[in-house]
Structure 1
């Protein structure tokens, strides 16, 4: 039996319940993992609220680290005793132990702690596909990144700096802006204090940016389009402020033949070999020191509802983890 966070209905953080659930043995293609630390991400809130509906009841959580306890038939990249970390479907990572598909579970290098592993996989793999798999980016390009002091944002600031890419961030307080600057952002705009669209234009001499990476959604979408240079790329990869409403696709032509995409991490990591390669690139960034994983909040597993409240209230910086 393992303590597991389950929801029986969509709603606020109060719907999250702790239950003892049987773990069982892995079938072919599966592994059993004893978790050490679990990660917290905005997608968890989307699933809980019903923005991303799930069949209920359902266990929660997309990211964790731990030790392999049993290996099913046909699994060749993992063995019992391996340190591992993952960001993967199906949800169910908020627990002491679980059986899950092995393909997206990645061996965790000894130089990376369990806390870092749980805090970095979903956010770090997201950063990897944003910079390497979505649209061509090269040294000298300029990116606008919203929520630059968040979990993905602080990794993205460092990633951009390590590759010679100028990253202009936005955040909601001066303290968060300073945090983004400390992690490699070239500039960071407090969107509560100034017109961030005008400021981006000023910072780029009126040209706009090559790419916008926007996980905020509804509140920033229109402004983000206005920050792009002609032929620029809008990457909308989250909905922290709510879903982007329908819009006239002709707007993209009128604003400079813009491009737009709405990617998800789980499309990018669906292939086993691709997932493992992306993870190796992420691990290399961390082991080299180019990217440091900042964990600013820790909650015991049984305080998961409080963790969700803090995340949704934008009271967090960096990554948040749930301790077992």
Structure 2
């Protein structure tokens, strides 16, 4: 039946149905966007604290080996570092992998969603399939980016800090035993070696960290060794949960600023999560209600 044959009342109902369908599409888009933002905000809570501490040059646990100037001349470790060309090739390879995998797997993501009755109804329109594809692309890209981060963040000197049973088996310990280095320098390197070992060898690290504490208090030339205060702070925090020496207590101010910023950001993210959850649930319910109403109207028209 053409629009010309419809009564004015029926035409008005048709126009209302079109408006209702337009509003439902807008609600579905808002719901999808709020869902993606909600998922992103939840994941941000996991990495928020390490990221904020990193802004202040700190970390929650030892992650990299620091070579002080008083020890760097003892052996050559430069060959362990990747050159710029290799890093460029690696970056390009990861970019191609993430683009290709995210692009094609996102289609599989949409196809799987369409097999679920709840999503099958909502993915009949091309716009909603595009939104679902974008969500899948973002999720897959994020997962691959995290995989890239985990695979590339490994310390380039990791083989120097690994051993099977005793710290004396490590390459750093062997270099120290074959060379003339001051006791604080040896303690600094061995403490890092123990904490960078997988898993962390806290039992081996404690005597070396205590040796560093005594050296800082008793040795007036302690600062000339070139030790990194942030590295000392992380080691003491990881073992004792507090700063033990004046040099590391000076870092407590930075750590407190990072902690304050973390608490504010965490509170803000929780508030954002609640608001996004409310928007997501509300728009989902409204969209479902409008869909039911449209079905009733269409049945009336038929």
What is the TM-score normalised by the length of structure 1?
A: 0.22
Q: Which has the higher contact order (CA 8 A, sep 6+)?
A: 2
For the pair shown, the structure with the greater C-alpha radius of gyration is: 2
What is the TM-score normalised by the length of structure 2?
A: 0.23
